[in-house]
């Protein structure tokens, strides 16, 4: 498979998993504010409201468990990037600056169109 095809397949898989995660979270009462929000140093997969809390959601996908789950791949470096991106989001959206915030991780596995989802609420803190 050519590199461009692999990239497209990976992007399509990622979009399918992210769409499944969004639907899962919406069924649990969260409301979407932004998807793939570009910010300094990174991207926020989903930015949602859970009541009055602003939730920054990182969606991680693994086809299997051979290399650990998706949540395990959110290491200290990735957490720092997500915190910086969230800070930039808050600067651009000052109406949410005083909202309580949290970082959640969606760990998705299996079929990208219908993945098994584990929702890790408050997976890490900005000061971790």
- Sorting pLDDT into bands at 50, 70 and 90, what band is 5? very low
| pLDDT for the residue numbered 60 | 93
Whole-prediction pTM: 0.88
What is the spatial distance between Cα 79 and Cα 83, in angstroms, rounded to a whole number?
Answer: 6
What is the spatial distance between Cα 76 and Cα 128, in angstroms, rounded to a whole number?
Answer: 8
User: What rounded mean pLDDT belongs to the chain?
Assistant: 88
| pLDDT for the residue numbered 11 | 82
What mean pLDDT comes out for the span 35-53?
Answer: 92
Fold of the domain spanning 3-124: Trna Endonuclease; Chain: A, domain 1 (3.40.1350)
State pLDDT tens for residues 49-81: 999 999 999 999 877 665 566 667 788 999 999
Residues written for the chain: 128
CB-side neighbour CA atoms (13 Å) of 45: 22
Torsion of CA 15, 20, 26, 32, to 10 degrees: -10
pLDDT at 6 over 60: no
Cα–Cα distances in angstroms (integers) from residue 51 to residues 24, 48, 55, 67, 99, in the given order: 16, 10, 10, 35, 10
Taking the domains of the chain in order of start, what are their residue ranges? 3-124
């Amino acid at each position: 498979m050519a590199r461009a095809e692999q990239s497209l397949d990976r992007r399509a898989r990622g979009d399918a998993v992210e769409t499944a995660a969004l639907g899962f979270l919406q069924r649990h009462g969260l409301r979407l504010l932004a998807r793939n929000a570009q910010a300094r140093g990174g991207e926020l997969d989903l930015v949602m409201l859970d009541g009055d809390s602003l939730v920054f959601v990182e969606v991680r996908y693994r086809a299997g468990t051979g290399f650990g789950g998706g949540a395990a791949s959110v290491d200290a470096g990735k957490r720092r990037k997500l915190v910086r991106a969230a800070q930039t989001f808050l600067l651009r959206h000052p109406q949410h600056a005083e909202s309580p915030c949290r970082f959640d991780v969606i760990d998705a596995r299996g079929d990208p169109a219908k993945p098994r989802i584990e929702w890790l609420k408050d997976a890490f803190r900005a000061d971790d």
